[in-house]
Amino acid sequence: MLNRTAENVARATPEPLARKVRGISDKGLAWLFISPTILLLLAINIFPLFWAIYLSFTNFRANRPNEVVKNLGFANYQRILADKDIWIAMQTTAHFVFWTILLQTLIGFTLAWLIDRKFRGHAFWTTLILVPMMLSPAVVGNFWRFLYEPQIGLFAYAISFVTGIPPTNIQMLSNVSLAPWSIIIVDTWMWTPYVMLICLAGLRSIPEYIYEAAEVDRASNWRQFWSITLPMALPFIMLAVLFRGIENFKMFDMVNLLTGGGPGSTTEVASITLKRQAFESWRTGYSSAFAIILFVAVFGLANIYVKALNKVKQR
């Protein structure tokens, strides 16, 4: 009834007025809907980014805002690329990213492959496995300090129970060679479910008829795995690696609470260096330059990777 009236009114209204009555044009509406988001991102993300780019060419220090700001040109960038500590931090980051991704991909894919067998109750156990990745890395990472305590901690106790090494010798957080592994273990514990979930989607996307055809051709299970399962799940595995790679390259919260970069600087990943330079030494200009380098590195690597991913997808 109401609709009919509206329709009649609309039909009887002359064109220019009709546009007014029917509201703004689609194009206007599109911009009205999209612009608030773009404006917010410009204000909170892009403007600060440009500010950081500007600061990266200066000797500005946030704790001395009244000092005269000098333009240094590319001096900050040159100093960073020549700074041995920065390169050590980059190596620490690379070590962390490499091992977490390798372990998470191997374990995650294996778990997904097993869950894909659809045993009884698999849905319940899958949900249980997913829980760690939803939790706050900071709050949970903080609690791992307790689990890692050499005597009273559950982790050290369990390891000594299994291996027979006295628990006082398992200094996960203060031993120089164990500390990098302490953060890799927590990250792997938290994020393996993430890789697993994406791999599972990949395995479920493989149509059954391909396996049936392989079965008809008497392809062995081994052969089926290498010629069907793995190649067809590969784009998904690569996607998981991309997301984890970006996240772990930026890793801050868990490491900051677990080791704070220590002992010494053995677990000082790039974000921790950045925090120390920016908020402890207050070298704002210098740390801005480092931040820009990091951002360009993530962005560049991610772009190259996405190109490779698209190639694999097209195959």
**Smallest distance from other proteins to CB 228, Å:** 10
Residues in the chain: 315
Residues of 197-206 as b/e, b for ≥16 C-beta within 10 angstroms?
Answer: bbbbebbeee
Answer whether 78's CB lies under 8 Å from 222's CB. no
**Smallest distance from other proteins to CB 201, Å:** 5
CA distance 126 to 200: 10
Closest to other proteins by CB, 44 vs 165, is 44
Closest to other proteins by CB, 63 vs 78, is 63
Closest to other proteins by CB, 4 vs 84, is 4
| Phi, psi of 71, rounded to the nearest 5 degrees | -85, 125
Closest to other proteins by CB, 87 vs 299, is 299
**Smallest distance from other proteins to CB 152, Å:** 5
Closest to other proteins by CB, 49 vs 178, is 49
Of all helices (H) and strands (E), which one includes residue 24? none
Instruction: At 233, list the tokens.
Output: 């799940």
**Smallest distance from other proteins to CB 82, Å:** 21
Q: What is the DSSP letter of 176?
A: T
**Smallest distance from other proteins to CB 298, Å:** 5
What string of H, E and C letters represents the secondary structure of 25-65?
CHHHHHHHHHHHHHHHHHHHHHHHHHHHHHHCCECCCCCCC
Instruction: At 287, list the tokens.
Output: 């740390």
**Smallest distance from other proteins to CB 266, Å:** 19
Question: In sequence order, what are the residues at sequence separation of 6 or more whose Cβ sits closer than 8 angstroms to the Cβ of residue 265?
Answer: 85, 88, 89, 92
Closest to other proteins by CB, 152 vs 165, is 152
